[in-house]
Amino acid sequence: MKLHEKILNAAKETISTEAKAIANLENLLDNEFVEAIESIYKSKGRVIVTGIGKSAVIATKIVATLNSTGTPAIFMHAADAIHGDLGIIQQDDIVICISKSGNSPEIKVLVPFIKNFRNTLIAITANKESFLGKEADFVLNSYVEKEACPNNLAPTTSTTAQMVIGDAVAVCLLELKGFSSKDFAKYHPGGSLGKKLYLRVSDITSQNQKPRVSPDTGITDAIIEISEKMLGVAAVIEDDKIIGIITDGDIRRMLKNNSDFKDLKAKDIMSKIPKTIDEDALAVDALEMLEEHKISQLLSVDENNKYAGVVHIHNLIREGIL
């Protein structure tokens, strides 16, 4: 077998094995899963997620997902827990312990301490009959038939299953809490995802200049205004209202069609009824308009429909919206 075929076959087999295992998790959902979710939802405390080895890595991801979707969570490494980190656990906290076998030495040491604290213990394990499975208040079954590793040793399919169970927990809680896109934005203010949910047109126009001309402004002055404000556009304003727009494209078409333009005015070359957007609209809505109409700039208006500024496609690129 050629090298590239061996690589592709191994990759396809890995994906196929894990996909089948993930699909089967749906069949393992039961009333214990429902009761576990209800216990977290009704709890006044946080969710402490713990594990050892690769399961600990999965635990950190589950914690991140819970926190970002409105469920306060903290990671506690199972080995560190029995050397002082048990102090993380407070009276009303719920502990989720992740272990494929449910019988690792660290888990056997840790679980009795958690039980002594009388905190609710939720297990994510592939072995319901394990020490962890029997001691837990609720078991979320993450059973997989085999690992994607050809030796059936390296945690691959099993850790993927654990992660999917964690995602299911987070999404269920998200649904119960009515966690909205606005809530999501509060927890993601620095990323492009968050910006799509909170960045408004006014946040962008406030950083730009406001190129404007009157209907009777001469072409030369209009060109100077567009060039100086560096947005490739100028709004044509009359009585504080937008009556048209002049873009770089309008200037090029004017030069192509007129050898003598010294007597032309802005009103002679402007495009009437330009596309506008409310300054309180989301920046992502501005992007949708730009893409829909295949243009590079939008004029924004305030609540009184007065000229408020310009949104350029480059602004959205810089903000990571596009």
pLDDT band at 189 (very low <50, low <70, confident <90, very high): low
Q: At 238, list the tokens.
A: 């009359």
Could you tell me the pLDDT band of residue 261, with boundaries at 50, 70 and 90? confident
- Cβ pair 76, 88 in contact under 8 A: yes
On the question of pLDDT at 250 being above 80, the answer is: yes
Q: Band of the pLDDT at 191, cuts 50, 70, 90?
A: low
- Burial class of residue 234 (count of CB atoms within 10 Å of its CB; 0-12, 13-18, 19+): buried
Please indicate, yes or no, whether residues 237 and 164 belong to a single structural domain of this protein: no
Q: Are residues 56 and 92 in the same domain?
A: yes
| pLDDT over 90 (residue 187) | no
Residue 194 binned pLDDT confidence (cut-offs 50, 70, 90): low
Considering the domain architecture, whether residues 119 and 205 belong to the same structural domain is answered as: no
End-of-domain residue from the set 128, 149, 179: 179
pLDDT at 76 over 90: yes
On whether both 27 and 152 belong to a single domain, the answer is yes
- Tell me what the mean pLDDT of segment 283-290 comes to: 90
Please say if the pLDDT value at position 188 is more than 70.
no
Q: What is the mean pLDDT of residues 32-55?
A: 96
Q: What is the pLDDT of residue 233?
A: 93
**40, 94 contact by CB (below 8 A):** yes
**Three-state secondary structure along 88-152?**
HCCCCCEEEEECCCCCCHHHHHHHHHHHHCCCEEEEEECCCCCHHHHHCCEEEECCCCCCCCCCC
Average pLDDT over residues 20-25: 96
Report phi then psi at 46, rounded to 5: -100, 175
CATH code (residue 164): 3.40.50.10490
Shared-domain flag, residues 208 and 161: no
Q: Are both 79 and 174 inside the same structural domain?
A: yes
| pLDDT value of residue 133 | 96
| Measured CA distances, 253 to 176, 232, 265, 268 (Å) | 57, 14, 14, 12
88 pLDDT exceeds 90? yes
Indicate which CATH number applies to the domain containing 230. Answer: 3.10.580.10
User: Total domain count for the chain?
Assistant: 2
> Would residue 189 count as lying in a domain?
no
pLDDT, tens only, 52-74: 999 999 999 999 999 989 999 99
Residue 256: predicted pLDDT: 85
Co-location of 25 and 139 in the same domain? yes
In a domain, 296, yes or no: yes
- Give 255's pLDDT tier (boundaries 50, 70, 90): confident
186: confidence class by pLDDT, cuts 50, 70, 90: low
Q: How confident is the model at residue 185 (pLDDT cuts 50, 70, 90)?
A: low
- Confirm whether 36 is domain-assigned: yes
Cα distance between residue 195 and residue 198, in whole Å:
5
Q: DSSP code of 180?
A: -
Say how many residues make up the chain: 322
Domain that holds residue 210: 198-318
Q: Any bridge partners for residue 122, and if so which?
A: 96, 138
Q: How far apart are CA 75 and CA 71, in angstroms?
A: 13
User: How much is the pLDDT for 254?
Assistant: 86
pLDDT of the residue at 192: 57
154, 265: one domain:
no
Pair (210, 171) in one structural domain: no
In this prediction, residue 210 carries a pLDDT of 94
Q: Is residue 161 domain-shared with residue 222, that is, in the same domain?
A: no
Span 264-291, mean pLDDT?
A: 90
Q: What is the pLDDT of residues 140-184, one digit of tens each?
A: 999 999 999 889 888 999 999 999 999 999 999 999 999 877 777
Within 8 A by CB and 6+ apart from 253, the residues are 269
Tell me whether residue 61 is in a domain.
Answer: yes
> What's the rounded Cα separation, in Å, for the pair 149 and 80?
29
Determine phi and psi for 209, rounding to 5 degrees.
Answer: -75, 170
Structural domain includes residue 276: yes
Average pLDDT, the chain: 91
Mean pLDDT of 230-243: 91
Asked if residue 250 and residue 105 are part of one domain, the reply reads no
Q: Does 190 reside within a domain?
A: no
The answer to whether residue 191 is domain-embedded is: no
Beta-bridged to residue 276, according to DSSP, are 299
- Domain contains 7: yes
User: What does the pLDDT look like over 219-236, one tens digit per residue?
Assistant: 989 999 999 999 999 999
The structure's pTM equals: 0.69
How confident is the model at residue 199, as a pLDDT?
Answer: 84
Arithmetic mean of pLDDT, 299-305 = 92
Whether 32 and 164 map to the same domain: the answer is yes
The pLDDT assigned to 284 comes to 87
